[in-house]
Structure 1
């Protein structure tokens, strides 16, 4: 009994440690933290969220982030699925080394490649555009997507492919009609990690958005001034959490099944 109480106290303290900052963030987002006419400082209201909706810069930053994150996820899945299938089903010299090399590239610090990527993108006109950030994030997230999808495809028996080809499916038709439904949990896991890595990345988001196309992370950073409106910052932080929570809710079943299958 004493051990059970101790365990409950430990988990309760851990939950409090994790959730307290989130609760404080959520509470401050509904407070007026600067003096305003007709409103007492610390008063509960929706003024911060109304200010977000009324500020075109903040609204544009939210749309920019959603644009390049969704582009990144789409590009990673479209390019990663055929590559993962090839690595899982075919053998060639250096195939395992190739996969390892891609994963090693993923752990390369982004700041190392920031200058050459900026110069290249400036020459082709991709600076200050969400498409440029999406392509860079795809470069770093694609190895993760290939690694995840390859492990799920490898778990599918080869007879599954052969049966589909005997039924008259072409390779593209087999992937769309048979393979994708069979590895849907793996696609959910890959999409989740690509989304998270892209949503929270700030190095290339800062470098490639000098004057325009700034994402929500840079918009939040710009709110810190000589007289920072903490309530507005917290409201933007809450808004930035919504897509991530929505993504988790959307793929929650696939993520759970995916990790179970890999185990």
Structure 2
């Protein structure tokens, strides 16, 4: 009984801020034309969707997160396969080196990345944010996928090649279905990091191309509409919930296999 009460108390402590944010998102925290303060309704969501800057921020975030996850998986798969199936001098050291690079604080590389991207015309662009996020997500994706590919028997590769499958056919028809849980776990981590990251989003979006994180921060002014901020925050949670829903089975199997 005490264990159940403790779990309920912990769940309440964790979910209370989320419940408060959802409640405030439906509450008019500032009075306006025809809307009294404290009114309960969809006025905050309507105001968010009617604001061009906030709609553009949601679209920008969707674009660079999609590009980031797609590029990371596309590049990490062959790299992880090479590390899992072939032995070469320094292969383990290379894997360790890219993982060490991942724990480097992003702010350390912010200035050189900004200068480089300014020269390439990638500042104020979702593509620029996607590329720099790939720089930090690739080591994690390679590490995750390498362990899953290593767990697949080599006989699968040999049988596929004996049957006449080419490299791309083997990847798409045999390897990717076999490591689908690993791909789901890698995609999940790449999505989460890219969706909530703020350092490079702040540095690389000076005048345009701002993502959701920067749009929410810009909403805090001298007289902040907390209800509207909470509405934008709740909308920013929906893609993450959708991502978890679509890959939930792969994530569960992936973490089980990793354990």
Aligned residues: 259
Tell me the alpha carbon deviations over residues 25-69 of structure 1, each in whole angstroms, 9 at most, x when there is no partner: 000000101011322211101111111111000000000001000
Cα shift at 1:9: 1.6
Q: Distance in 1 between matches of 2:50 and 2:134?
A: 32
Equivalent residue number for residue 25 of structure 1: 21
Tell me the alpha carbon deviations over residues 62-94 of structure 1, each in whole angstroms, 9 at most, x when there is no partner: 000010001000000000000000000000000
Equivalent residue number for residue 136 of structure 1: 132
Please tell me the root mean square deviation across aligned C-alpha atoms, in Å. 0.6
Tell me which stretches of 4 or more aligned residues in structure 1 moved more than 4 Å: none
Q: Distance in 2 between matches of 1:251 and 1:28?
A: 30
Structure 1 stretches lacking a partner, 5+ long = none
Tell me the alpha carbon deviations over residues 110-145 of structure 1, each in whole angstroms, 9 at most, x when there is no partner: 000000000000001000000000000000000000
Cα shift at 1:177: 1.1
Equivalent residue number for residue 54 of structure 2: 58
Structure 2 stretches lacking a partner, 5+ long = none
Matched residue SS, 2:209: coil
Corresponding position: 1:48 with 2:44: yes
Q: TM-score, normalised by structure 2?
A: 0.99
Tell me the alpha carbon deviations over residues 120-171 of structure 1, each in whole angstroms, 9 at most, x when there is no partner: 0000100000000000000000000000000000000001100000000111
Q: Distance in 1 between matches of 2:20 and 2:257?
A: 37
Q: Distance in 2 between matches of 1:171 and 1:95?
A: 22
